Structures are given as C-alpha cells and as structure tokens.
Amino acid sequence: MKFLVAGAGGFIGGHFVKRLQIEGHKVICVDIKKKEDWFQLFDSNQNVSLDLKDLDNCISVTKDVDYVINLACNMGGMGFIENNRAECMLSVLINTNLLRASLKNKIKRYLFSSSACVYNTEMQKNSFVKGLKEKDAYPAMPEDGYGWEKLFSERMCRHFYEDYGLEVRIARYHNVYGPEGTFDGGREKAPAALCRKVIQAKLTKKNFINVWGDGEQTRSFLYIDDCIDGSMKIFESNFTNVFNVGSEEQVSINQLIDTIEIIANYKLERKYDLSKPKGVRGRSSDNTLIKKSLGWSPKFSLSDGLKNTYKWIYKRLSENHDNKKFSNY
C-alpha cells in the first residue's frame, strides 16, 4: 500500500518509515526540515521537504495515497515546550489541513500521534503517581501550549470520524526514546540528554553532571521499537478511540541517572538546578485498555532500551571527541 508519513524527518518518523519499508509498502516521506537535517533518510522513498501547515501542500501530497501517518509537529523536550508554547500550538494547522486533505483525497485510514502532555496536570502533582488512563485527559487541564494542541487535535480527529466517516486512529505517546534521535541542542528529552551528560563527563573525566530540578520528578519512558509496534497495532485495529502507547515502568530522574551510570560504569556527583523547566511532578502510563483491546505491551525494559540508546550516543560523541569537535556538544 502507499503511505504518507508526515514528520518523516523526525525521530519517531524515521523509525516508522523504516518499519513500513521492511513490510514492503511504498512511502512518501514529508518533513518541513531540509533533507540534510532529517534523522533518517531512505533514498528508495519519495522524500519531500514541505510545510504541511499549508492546505494546498497537504492536498497535493496526499493525492493517490492510501494511508496517512501524522507524526508532524513542532516539539522537543520540556525545555523547548515550556519556552515555545505558541510555536507548539501552530502545529494544529498541520493536523487540521491533513484531515481536510485526507477527506478530499479519500484516504482510507489516518493515524494521529498524540502525547501524554494532554493529561490533566492536576493529577500529576506528586512523584510516583498512579498510571494515567485514557479517560483522565478530562476534565481538560493539559500542559499549556503543546498539550492543548494535542488534545484539540485528538478531538478534531474524533469529529472527522463522527461527521465525515474518516477512519482515524489515535496513539498517545509517553516519552519515547532510543537511537537515531536528538541528544543535544535543546529539543532532546531526558533519557538522551542524561546519556549525553554522563558520556561527556566520562570522556572529559569530570566528576559531576547538572540535573534539571531535584531529580525526584517521575516518568515512564517507552523505547522506540515498542512505540512503533504499538502504533502499528492501533493503526491496523478497528478502534477509533484513543490508546496510551507507553511504559508502566515509572522511575524518578535520579533512578534514570542511576541506570545510566551502571551502563557507563561511571559514578557522578549531581548538581541540581531548580531554575530549569521541570514539567509535571509525576506521570506514568496505564496500559490496561491497549492490553485488553489489542494485546500490546512493551517488550523492552528501561535498562535494555537505555543500553541501546547509550551505545548509539556514545559512538557519536566519542567520534567527535577524538576529532577535537567535542566542544560543539
């Protein structure tokens, strides 16, 4: 079949394209970034740099396509989200216009990638909170900017199904990490950022790292292969409701660092910076619905996923260190 992957130049997008290729599908890959900035670029596909906030672009690129995978949005780690709320909310134009174009071009099925940032922040004020069920997004009080955009876009998908019959599928991602993603520059998420910091300290023989907050914030982190598996389960199902795609293995940031230190075999002092963005105090996924409905649960433990991630980042940082380019990081 012929797929359009919006946001194909991003971290999750690159892995999604790889999976679709392995399964033998034709893929049109679209991202606003220049191709040299894509995380993964496969020459066997049609690769297009295009702004999908524009309706005409969406109509053009969805022509003769069977399925749409919408992973496109302007986002990053907590440091980026909290300082770019308007930019994050503008991504609503991408989903709006891709839905309109999908209706016009008779797309058979449409997957929207949502986020755990849609969840009511009043339920996330303590460390090691109870896992969040899909229904806990209401009454609505998501993270400002990015969370509101994702929640609004979920509703729009739902109404395009109810009003127009467009077959939509919705996955709520919980802190996805793994190789082939960003690990510096301000958009990286906690697992990649902390792997980078530990590796930098080890390579330069420093005895400390800086940590945002007090380290007692808690999250669950989902390895990228599990994310793609869960997403495909949702996409291929007959369910139009929202599903969590996350891990139930909730850890504190300090515990996350503990695990990375074991992988690195390098112990560090931690200097806590309480002035940095910290996000909600605690968040984890409740996977009851997706387990019951689709039989999916993550295969990778946090430790195993971090080993793969650490190895990938270490290779890149050590190469730059050896070539005297380490200061760029």
Residue 100 has pLDDT above 80, yes or no: yes
d(CA 52, CA 329): 31
pLDDT of residue 277: 86
pLDDT of residue 299: 98
Give the pair of three-digit tokens for residue 31: 């991202």
Residue 90 resides in a domain: yes
Alpha carbon 270 to its chain's center: 27
Residue 293 resides in a domain: no
- Please write the tens of the pLDDT for every residue from 53-98: 999 999 999 999 999 999 999 887 778 888 889 999 999 999 999 9
Whole-model pTM?
0.94
Residues with active-site annotation: 146
Is there a single domain that holds both residue 150 and residue 269?
Answer: no
User: To the nearest whole percent, how much of the chain has pLDDT over 90?
Assistant: 91
Pairing of strands 2-6, 26-31: parallel
The number of residues making up the chain comes to: 329
CA atoms within 13 A on the CB side of 262: 11
Give the number of domains in the chain.
2
Give the pair of three-digit tokens for residue 234: 């949702």
Q: What CATH number is attached to the domain comprising 320?
A: 3.90.25.10
Is there a single domain that holds both residue 136 and residue 205?
Answer: no
CB-based contacts of 155, cutoff 8 Å, min separation 6: none
d(CA 282, CA 316): 31
Report in angstroms the alpha-carbon separations of 136 from 45, 62, 66, 133. 39, 33, 33, 5
pLDDT average, residue stretch 8-19: 98
What kind and span of H or E run contains 46?
strand 46-49
CB-based contacts of 282, cutoff 8 Å, min separation 6: 124, 125, 126, 127, 128, 129, 217, 218, 219, 250
The candidate with the shortest Cα–Cα distance to 266, out of 320, 197, 214, 220, is 197
Is there a single domain that holds both residue 133 and residue 196?
Answer: no
Is there a single domain that holds both residue 97 and residue 192?
Answer: no
Give the pair of three-digit tokens for residue 328: 């760029």
Residue 107 resides in a domain: yes
User: Strand, coil or helix: what is 64?
Assistant: coil
Is there a single domain that holds both residue 207 and residue 158?
Answer: no
pLDDT of residue 319: 86
- Please write the tens of the pLDDT for every residue from 151-191: 999 999 999 999 999 999 999 999 999 999 999 988 899 99
- Please write the tens of the pLDDT for every residue from 268-327: 999 999 999 888 999 999 999 999 999 999 999 999 999 999 999 999 999 876 555 544
Structural contact between residues 47 and 21, judged by C-beta atoms closer than 8 angstroms: no
Burial 76-89 (b: 16+ CB within 10 A, else e): bbbbbbbebbebbb
Residue 291 resides in a domain: no
Mean model confidence pLDDT for the chain: 95
Q: What CATH number is attached to the domain comprising 19?
A: 3.40.50.720
In which domain, by residue range, is 313 found?
Answer: 178-220+249-285+299-328
pLDDT of residue 326: 45
- Please write the tens of the pLDDT for every residue from 226-278: 999 999 999 999 999 999 999 999 999 999 999 999 999 999 999 999 999 88
Is there a single domain that holds both residue 153 and residue 191?
Answer: no
* Cis peptide bond N-terminal to 191, omega within 30: no
The candidate with the shortest Cα–Cα distance to 40, out of 227, 178, 172, 194, is 178
User: Strand, coil or helix: what is 55?
Assistant: helix
